[in-house]
Amino acid sequence: MTIHQQLFINGTWRTPAGPGLIDVESASTQQTIGRVPEGGAADIDAAAEAAEHAFHSWSETTVEERAGWLDKIGNALEARASDIARTIAEEVGSPITMATSIQAGLPTLVTKSYAKLIRETALEETIGNSLIVREPVGVVGAITPWNYPLHQIMAKVAPALAAGCTVVLKPSELAPLNAFILAEICESIQLPAGVLNVVTGYGPVVGEAIATHPLIDMVSFTGSLRAGRRVMSLAAYTVKKVTLELGGKSANVILDDAPFEKAVGIGVKNAMLNSGQTCSAWTRMVVPRDRQEEAIGIAVKTAASLKPGDPLDPNTRLGPLISGAQRGRVEGYIESAKREGALLVTGGHRPSEFTHGYYVEPTIFANVASQMTIAQEEVFGPVLSILPYDSEEEAIAIANDTIYGLAGGVWSADADRALRVARRIRAGQVDINGGRYNPLAPFGGYKQSGIGRELGRFGLDEYLQVKSLAR
């Protein structure tokens, strides 16, 4: 068991204001695998003061100095990749192969990308008689989720540090152990005190203290729509800049001329990635009505290959859900889909072979109508809905028929047709014919999927503000 009794504030390990500890549970065994401090408002005060003090010197460092620190963090993350992967596999339940390549690999890639990007970014330009400069926003409060915990941390911390900001980080209390690895790294490389501060605790206490704190200039939040609304409303009192990456209900639009075997198979795996606990997952598969049975057959066959297992087994492709509460939520959506008339074609139960762990079988519903709850609300579990359509126009309408607009996919044998349809989908990123993930492309949503962008230069821009100096 890993027990952390102190918080990382101002470059040192500090005893929290209160004595409480939060148990961290294994998603697969339901055993307590660690404990972290239950921070409070007083700890955020200390962290914000440290970050505000550090900001004055950190913001004056050169671009090369900040890039050098990011290189050090990136190299240290890479050196501890196996520790990170195993930790997240245990906390979240991500299969170890996926945890190694994504949960540990992406944070390293993102961190190093910002070391390179800040070196290449022009922070000054002349327009007419004015010198336009881009300066760091200030102290950033970063509130991060549990599903891709360290990736979401570094998608905020790396660009913030590159821009010259300092950070107060609140990781999810469900998967906080990986954040302490980052804190240990910052201590080991002697990152200047106060540049990154880590305070664990519960959202209604620590998260809300960040959102309202007068020394914090910006809040970057990733999580649920409900919590994002709360953060935004609280931040309004001090008129902070707010970026939000919230939920999704992404559509995978498979046109009538698409390579069906490939489009459906990849679509199912996308929906089930990380046991469906992915905000950008293609959880709605939109298929031609006269080919729905074909799609069902391929989807069921693909789902059968995603047998749930121990996340530490290299052969496992589908792990458990994060918690009992999350499993209960997913099972509630499965029952509502049945009540509303969707056709359950596979899954829908807890695997009988597991006596422990929050497992749900890969589940697929067909004959789903757009107005059904399962087609409108984010399930965040291994559940796919197949929605039939009769025309291209209807397929586009179904794709856009949601309050969300985070991601999506379009498949067609005609690349120009696929691009034309993708342009009409109101989402922040749409993959065409299985386009590869690009960590330098902007990530973020339309509508109630959020405000702002992460990753690449667009992510860096969020942590910079513009000043004009007329001459």
Residues catalogued as catalytic:
245, 279
**433 torsion bin: left (phi>0), alpha (psi -120 to 50), beta (else):** left
- DSSP class of residue 308 equals B
Contact assessment for residue 221 and residue 201, using Cβ atoms and an 8 Å cutoff: no
- Residue 60 C-alpha from the chain's centroid: 30
Contact assessment for residue 162 and residue 137, using Cβ atoms and an 8 Å cutoff: no
Calculate Rg over the CA atoms of the chain. Answer: 22
- Sequence-ordered list of residues with C-beta below 8 angstroms from that of 25, at least 6 positions apart, any chain: 31, 32, 33, 174, 323
Contact assessment for residue 211 and residue 235, using Cβ atoms and an 8 Å cutoff: yes
- DSSP class of residue 256 equals T
- Sequence-ordered list of residues with C-beta below 8 angstroms from that of 302, at least 6 positions apart, any chain: 264, 265, 268, 269
- Sequence-ordered list of residues with C-beta below 8 angstroms from that of 91, at least 6 positions apart, any chain: 24, 26, 27, 33, 146, 149, 174, 175, 176, 177, 178
d(CA 77, CA 185): 8
- Sequence-ordered list of residues with C-beta below 8 angstroms from that of 266, at least 6 positions apart, any chain: 434
- DSSP class of residue 209 equals H
DSSP E strands in 130-227: the ranges are 130-136, 139-143, 166-170, 196-198, 218-222
Strand partners, 154: none
Contact assessment for residue 34 and residue 3, using Cβ atoms and an 8 Å cutoff: yes
d(CA 166, CA 160): 7
d(CA 269, CA 263): 10
Give the DSSP H/E element, type plus range, for residue 468: strand 464-470
Q: How many CB atoms lie within 10 A of CB 440?
A: 14
Q: Taking the chain, what is the end-to-end CA distance rounded to the nearest angstrom? A: 61
Contact assessment for residue 166 and residue 244, using Cβ atoms and an 8 Å cutoff: no
